[in-house]
């Protein structure tokens, strides 16, 4: 049974804050193990990657090519069921359409004093996409990470995925080909992150690494950031639902469980001003949980990290949600448009009874790679902008230069940077002053 809170209680703020701070996920300290793997791959390249792949995944790869001829994406994709291929094609096209609409325009303007200012957008040269592998089957994650990169115009897209005992999902293989993968290496773990960062064998370094992984992958991304770009350091998934009696308790129970079945560390929270509604949802959830094939995972998530919160109003519910800053927020209420302006922090918002978060995981087109663990307070979900760079551009004629020079030299003097001052003054044929 999930925990219950009431925002009208005198100790609510303290108790709920304490609840949100409870650790979720693997508490194992992976830092030193990951550091050793990164250092070894940086020093030994493909030999180290091959050794770790044999050790952890029981799969032999060539130290130079980082490949095994038995692992063929095209052959695997050919075994993907037709109905799954059709669904992947459908999702791919919606994701591409959504991200094409995000494409920004280059811009320039004249400041009226002789300066032309602006910016232009250019794609990254290369991106590495990490995909959970083995028996894990997440073609949606392949699409969410690869399609925006392709739409942005990234020249080189590299996919890595662990293949324990030589196993990779046919759906993942088909999604990768559909999304336009150009290189694939059957490697995973911290060693794959290291190979993408430093290069190893035939795998040349990339400019940015995106995609989800286990605790070792996450820690490796954290440690290589700065040498290479990363999307985010992600934590366990989460959903917050603000609900009222206009939406069936059975529907909301299903939505809460759809998040809980992800992982024992996932978090599902329901907030409502209606105590009877909370009771009805809890009863529905218990009934659904009893027959859920993923009951073992979902029950741990719900009992350990789940919560039901009685709010004083919908406005109060939104403020509680802002404190959570959830990865996913469902406004499962009669008139969600009346509350959306009260939402300040959320990775993605799903409006109304007919927009369950599960749709966003697959086919709305919006990206499902979103900030977790409260990071929605300062971060956004993955999108086209993650695969683009903005370059500032400025040009000046003599009038523009003269308009700016005095202030520039004064600031240079105040910062005790005489070469900066001279860089301006010399253009007047003198060492300083106008």
Catalytic residues: 327-328
Beta bridge partners of 268: 239
Would you give the DSSP letter of residue 8? T
**How far apart (Å, rounded) are the C-alpha atoms in residues 164 and 110?**
58
CA-to-CA dists, residue 392 to 7, 102, 116, 194, 215, angstroms: 47, 19, 11, 31, 37
Helix extents (H) in 225-274: 249-260
CA-to-CA dists, residue 249 to 243, 245, 270, 318, angstroms: 9, 8, 11, 19
**How far apart (Å, rounded) are the C-alpha atoms in residues 64 and 60?**
12
The burial class, CB within 10 Å (0-12 / 13-18 / 19+), for 233 is middle
For the chain, the 3-state helix, strand and coil shares in percent, each to the nearest 5, are: 45, 15, 35
The helix or strand, by DSSP H or E, that contains position 221, with its residue range, turns out to be: helix 215-224
């Amino acid at each position: 049974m999930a925990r219950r809170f009431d925002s009208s209680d005198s100790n609510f703020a303290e108790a709920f804050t304490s609840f949100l701070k409870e650790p979720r996920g693997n508490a194992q300290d992976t830092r030193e193990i990951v550091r050793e793997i990164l250092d070894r791959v940086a020093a030994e390249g493909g030999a180290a990657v091959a050794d770790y792949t044999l050790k952890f995944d029981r799969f032999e790869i060539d130290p130079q090519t980082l490949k095994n001829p038995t692992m063929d994406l095209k052959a695997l994709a050919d075994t993907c069921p037709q109905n799954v291929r059709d669904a992947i094609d459908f999702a791919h096209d919606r994701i591409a359409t959504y991200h094409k609409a995000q494409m920004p325009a280059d811009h320039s303007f004249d400041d009226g004093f002789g300066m032309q200012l602006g910016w232009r957008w250019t794609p990254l040269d290369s991106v590495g996409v990490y995909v959970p592998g083995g028996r894990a089957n997440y073609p949606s994650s392949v699409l969410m990470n690869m399609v925006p990169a392709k739409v942005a115009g990234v020249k080189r897209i590299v996919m890595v995925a662990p293949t324990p005992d030589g196993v990779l999902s046919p759906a993942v293989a088909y999604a990768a080909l559909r999304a336009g993968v150009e290189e694939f290496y059957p490697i995973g773990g911290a060693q794959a992150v290291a190979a993408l960062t430093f290069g190893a064998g035939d795998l040349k370094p990339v400019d940015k690494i995106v995609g989800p992984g286990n605790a070792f992958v996450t820690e490796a991304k954290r440690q290589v950031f700065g040498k290479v770009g990363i999307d985010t350091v992600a934590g366990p998934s989460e959903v917050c639902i603000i609900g009222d009696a206009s939406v069936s308790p059975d529907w909301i129970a299903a939505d809460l469980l759809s998040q809980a079945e992800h992982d024992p560390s996932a978090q599902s929270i329901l907030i409502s001003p209606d105590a009877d509604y909370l009771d009805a949802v809890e009863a529905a959830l218990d009934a659904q949980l009893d027959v859920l094939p993923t009951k073992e995972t979902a029950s741990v998530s719900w009992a350990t990290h789940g919560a039901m919160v009685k709010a004083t109003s919908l406005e109060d519910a939104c403020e509680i949600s802002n404190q959570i800053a959830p990865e996913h927020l469902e406004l499962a209420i009669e008139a969600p448009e009346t509350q959306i302006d009260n939402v300040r922090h959320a990775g993605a918002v799903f409006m109304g009874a007919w927009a369950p978060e599960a749709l966003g995981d697959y086919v709305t087109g919006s990206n499902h790679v979103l900030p977790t663990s409260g990071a929605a307070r300062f971060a956004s979900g993955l999108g086209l902008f993650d695969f683009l760079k903005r370059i500032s551009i400025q040009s000046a004629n003599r009038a523009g230069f003269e308009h700016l020079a005095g202030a520039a030299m004064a600031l240079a003097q105040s910062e005790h940077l005489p070469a900066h001052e001279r860089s301006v003054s010399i253009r007047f044929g003198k060492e300083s002053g106008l």
